[in-house]
Amino acid sequence: MQTATPADVHAAPDAHILDVREPDEFARARVEGAQHIPLGTLVERLDEVPRDRAVYVMCHLGGRSAQATEYLEANGIEAVNITGGIVGWHREGLPVTIGDE
């Protein structure tokens, strides 16, 4: 499984971020512009995930996104797990939208 640090993903031009956290988690804090598909609905919404570029997968700490990354790879999608999830993203001082901002 490919992995990338939050800083690497933030620095990548036009990186497509897929957030697989639950809706309440996503509402509390998110990376602006991230696509949101909760892990529990990923199988039925697979056709919404881009196949023409790498997809960087994020969750809270990296566990659920690792599962999603493996699933996406098994379905022919280039997927990269973001290490540390949104917690790591925030700890690295990268921009996060909190609540309804």
Q: For residue 87, tell me if it sits in a domain.
A: yes
User: What is the rounded average pLDDT of the residues 12-28?
Assistant: 96
- The CATH number of whichever domain residue 31 belongs to comes to 3.40.250.10
Question: Is 53 among the domain residues?
Answer: yes
Is 9 part of any domain? no
Which is the catalytic residue, given 9, 31, 49, 59? 59
Instruction: Identify the pLDDT of residue 101.
Output: 58
- Measured over the CA atoms of residue 90, residue 54, residue 80 and residue 28, the dihedral's sign is positive
- Domain holding 81, by residue range, is 16-98
How high does pLDDT run on average in the chain?
96
45 assigned to some structural domain: yes
**2, part of any domain:** no
59 is catalytic: yes
- Model pLDDT for residues 53-74, shown as the tens digit of each residue: 999 999 999 999 999 999 999 9
Given 3-state DSSP classes, what are the helix, strand and coil percentages for the chain, each rounded to the nearest 5? 35, 20, 45
**100 has pLDDT over 80:** no
